[in-house]
Structure 1
Amino acid sequence: MAELSQLFILKVSNDQMIAELHYTDEYLMHQELNVTMEEFTQFLHNNKIIFGLDEGSIEKVVSGGVPLEDFPMVIARGIEPIPGLDGKVQYTINFNPMIEKDLNDDRWDFREVMRIPSVEVNQILAKLILPTEGTDGTNVYGNLVRSKPGKPIRMKAGKNVRFEEKSLTFYSESVGQANVQGNTIHVHPVYEVSDSLSMKEGNIDFIGTVIIKGDVPSGYTIKAGGDIKIYGMVEAATVKAEGSVYVAEGLAGQQKGTIEAGETIQIGYINQGNVYATNKLFVENSILHSECIAGDEIICQRGSVIGGHSSAGNSIQIKHVGNHMNTRTELILGQNHKELQETEELQSQKKEIEDTLKKLAVLGEKLSQVPNIESNPKLFQALQRQKASYDKNVELLDSIKEKLESLNHETNEKYAKLIVIGNIFANTVVAFGKYKRMIDTSYNKVQFELVRNEIYMRSLEDSFA
């Protein structure tokens, strides 16, 4: 009688969670061999397979005549460990300043898009939920497989916030605007100007939220560690917020006015302005001859974008692009057009310096081969100048490479979309990163996306029917 070890081979997965039974050539000549349950169980034990045995598969082997197509058979299966749950933050207030709205709904009120999360003293802001340990498993050898414990969440109390260790709770210590920046919870007090900004207040640089009940005239600067809310208009002024910016009327920038936000910008219109939003840019009416950048998306579903450059990381949704006069208008998806221009300029500078270094290297080699060059003051000075110029260009090249590396981040043009729910006119440039398409005739209700490195346009008529 053949030994079971001659008939079968046991193979265990790398993680030791599955044991499979394979047959040998010897088995082909002993398929009708009777095997007792005790013999087969002992065979498994001899191979140290003792846990998670599949009784159905074992019965099949013991009964004899297992078809070859049933091999390999899972003969034992361990219990996988269940990893612990990560810790999390359970917020008790809504920190999101955005109000969810259907942008295709004509009843959408632009002025209801943003709200400031306001809190009172000693109000509960959030609670920490601790991670769990998880459940251990067992492999087919009967060995314990430790589960991976959950990771603790890192959240700390910032300005005007206290954390109580016993209850794992964050409390507000001030009346103001609650804000989460990174892994820190802050409560920013509010600075309010009851009228248009004037010489009475001067420039504003405030750690919290700034509210202007009137206009921001040309020449003024407002900086805020929280949000900025302006009930009037902004002229050729500078407005910068680490949070969001809301402008009820608009920006008449005269090519000098700038608005920057670390989060989202909502504004009535933009005319000859420079607008930069890390997250989203909502424009109620039109964008005219301006430079606009949004890290996520630009939404301008009631007006037109005419002239200038507008770029967004993920999507641009516009009613009309360009005009009947075919004013050149550029829309860039997936990449910041300012960074794209800077990258191109740096690449050009890099090539020039590399060419210069090659020429200097050739010159240096020729000069260094001159015998007793120290005795020739003119040539020796030329060699010294060559070395100084070479070192200076190497230093400059390293600086440019460092800048290029800082700009070399992942782009999103493969997943970005441009949606035009009205008309897109001729002389509009649509770009997805380095891929560009010139629109040479007018289209209505279309969507653009990048498909296999080509800019593809499709109709939205069915969607808006």
Structure 2
Amino acid sequence: MSLSYVNVDLSSDKMYAYLQLDLPPEGIAWPTYDEVIKKLREEGVVFGLKEEVIHRLLEEKSSKVTLVAEGVPPTNGEDASLKYFFETERARLLPKELEDGRVDHRELSLVQSVQKGQVLVEKTPATSGVPGTNVLGEEIKPVPGKDVNIVVGKNVAWEGNRLVATCDGEPTKVGNKVSVLAVHEIRSNVGYKTGNIDFIGSVHIRGDVESGFIVKAGGDVVITGNVEGGSIHAEGNITINGGIIGQDKSVVKCGGDLYTRYIDHAQVDAEGVIKVRDAIMHSVVNSGQKIILGTKKGMIMGGVVRAADLIDVQYLGSKMGTQTEVEVGINPGFRRELNEIEKRLPALEKELDMAEKALMILNRQQDLPPNREEQKAKLIRTSFILKAEKRKLESRREEILLMINERQLERGSIRVRQTIYPGVRVIIGKAVRVFKDNFNYALLTYNEGEVSIQPYR
């Protein structure tokens, strides 16, 4: 018999089938359960049938649109996850500051150590998920879970889904790279007794770094004492529980974060955050991110202090009007590179001009002797090399200027929690402001080519 009055509709995703029974013509009985099932199968509906619903619909002789079949959605896979069995944050290296401003060095966990075979990371793999089925009986593929990448560094290896140390040392995580660095510990001052230190891993010095001595490390450097005219170079973080007494000799550089109590007459460069508990005095300090001073003294006095994003300070300058320059909004590394390019280009143009003038003189001469021909060939090569270097430097200058402009849009800022004193010069992007009077509680930002001052509380 014709079942034209039995209407079947599918949802667009084929996950639901709906049935509507119109009143049959006179002389034609209501369809039976088997006839409805046959109609559904003719429409392709073969999965997830709600038999009790169909029976009830026929008993009630209802003409309502009714859900009579429902598919099973897929269960998407779960993303892979990593569980670390060592401390990955560098905050552990910062001394605990008590309420009275003193530092409790007993609370330091300076160097984290692991033993060979110790589990560093456990990976739970991603799952593929469970397929679903629509009302037509078609399989619906799930979205598989995303894998998580981990880069295997030095002295670690996979054992199944576990990353283990293959030697004793200090575990480190830089980005998604996990390594174990052997830690070189010095239980004395770095001085004539030890000589300079140059180590591939991390260095822990239980003393001072004396004047004129250099410490280089491929990992982190932790110093329980002071840096007294010495220099420190670390690819990782630097923690100095005392201070940097630069004596206009110290150069301290690191590829990560730096913590110290104070910086005095020194040059300090860090790609990460610089945290100083007490003061920065008469120094050149550069951070690729932020410079944050403590909440007690927290002073920057004299010198030049630059950060890409933020300088957060209690006091800027001094009551005596000490000339102090602070700059944000431009990565100091870009600024230094740009200055070097600007310095090199005029000298390069002078060299190129001299080479081309000498070449011009030789080109005017005919029948050059062999030594002159050789000189001419050298000048041609020199001119070619100098022109290539000039193009490269000019291209790099344009790249940096573009990055600087983009950087300014991010609005670097300077937070002064107490006072800006006269003699302070503030640079934000290309905007410059020199303070001639005291100014309290200020937030300095870049706005339409000027240094904008807003209240900071």
TM-score calculated relative to the size of structure 2: 0.70
Highest CA radius of gyration, 1 or 2? 2
In 2: Cα distance, 1:455 partner to 1:357 partner: 40
Q: What's the CA shift for 1:443?
A: 0.8
TM-score between both structures, scaled by the size of structure 1: 0.69
Which residue matches 2:319? 324
Question: Hey, what does 1:435 align to over in structure 2?
Answer: 431
| Distance in 2 separating the partners of 1:451 and 1:83 | 48
Amino acid at match of 1:259: V
- Secondary structure in structure 2 of the residue aligned to 1:125: strand
| SS in structure 1 of the partner of residue 391 of structure 2 | helix
What secondary structure sits across from 1:118 in the alignment? coil
C-alpha distance in 1 between matches for 2:221 and 2:389: 39
* AA matched with 2:14: F
Letter aligned with residue 265 of structure 1: L
Q: How far apart in 2 are the matches of 1:435 and 1:325?
A: 25
Is 1:289 aligned to 2:282, yes or no? yes
TM superposition shift of 1:107? 5.0
Whether contact under 8 Å (1:51, 1:142) holds in the other structure is no
Assess, with a 3 A threshold, how the Cα gap between structure 1 residues 356 and 257 changes in structure 2: closer, same or farther: closer
- How many residue pairs get matched? 395
CA distance in 1, matches of 2:382, 2:236: 46
Counterpart AA for 1:209: S
| Counterpart position of 1:68 | none
Q: Could you list the per-position Cα deviations for residues 307-330 of structure 1 after superposition, in whole angstroms to 9, with x for gaps in the alignment?
A: 111122222111111112222211
Closer, same or farther: CA 406–324 of 1 in aligned 2, 3 Å: same
| Letter aligned with residue 298 of structure 1 | I
Runs of 5+ consecutive residues of structure 2 not aligned to the other structure: 22-70
Counterpart among 144, 147, 162 of residue 157 in structure 2: 162
Map of 1:255 onto structure 2: 248
Change (3 A) 1:285 1:392: same
Alpha-carbon distance between aligned partners in 2 of 1:449 and 1:80, rounded to the nearest angstrom: 52
RMSD: 4.5
- Output the CA distance in 2 between the equivalents of 1:104 and 1:202: 33
Partner SS state of residue 440, structure 1:
coil
Q: For residues 130 and 191 of structure 1, what CA distance do their matches in structure 2 show?
A: 36
1:13 paired residue number:
none
**How has the CA–CA distance of structure 1 residues 457 and 50 changed in structure 2, closer, same or farther, with 3 Å as cutoff?**
closer
Confirm whether residue 206 of structure 1 aligns to residue 202 of structure 2.
no
CA separation of 1:95 and 1:252: change in aligned 2, threshold 3 A = same
Deviation at 1:179, TM superposition (A): 0.8
Q: Contact 2:94 / 2:259 at 8 angstroms: preserved in 1?
A: no
Mapped pair 1:187 → 2:180: yes
Aligned residue runs from structure 1 range 272-311, under 5 A: 272-301=265-294, 302-311=297-306
**Identical aligned pairs, as a percentage?**
25
User: Is 2:209–2:226's contact at 8 Å kept on the other side of the alignment?
Assistant: yes
Moved more, 434-443 or 144-153: 144-153
Q: State the distance in 1 between where 2:353 and 2:137 align.
A: 67
Residue 246 of structure 1 corresponds to 239
Q: Distance in 2 between matches of 1:334 and 1:82?
A: 47
In structure 1, distance between residues paired with 2:101 and 2:383: 62
What residue in structure 2 maps to residue 26 of structure 1? none
The structure 1 residue matched to 2:208, chosen from 209, 215, 222, is 215
List alignment gaps of at least 5 residues for structure 1.
Answer: 1-35, 60-77
**Take 2:213 and 2:338, find their aligned partners in 1: how far apart are those partners?**
31
CA distance in 2, matches of 1:106, 1:89: 37
Judge conservation of contact 1:120–1:175 (CA < 8 Å) in 2: yes
State the Cα distance separating 1:239 from its structure 2 match.
Answer: 0.9
What letter is aligned with 1:266?
Y
Instruction: Report what 1:264 is aligned to.
Output: 257
CA distance in structure 1 between the aligned counterparts of 2:224 and 2:13, rounded to whole angstroms: 74
> 1:35-46 to 2 correspondence within 5 Å?
38=7
Indicate conservation of the 8 Å contact 1:303/1:319, yes or no: yes
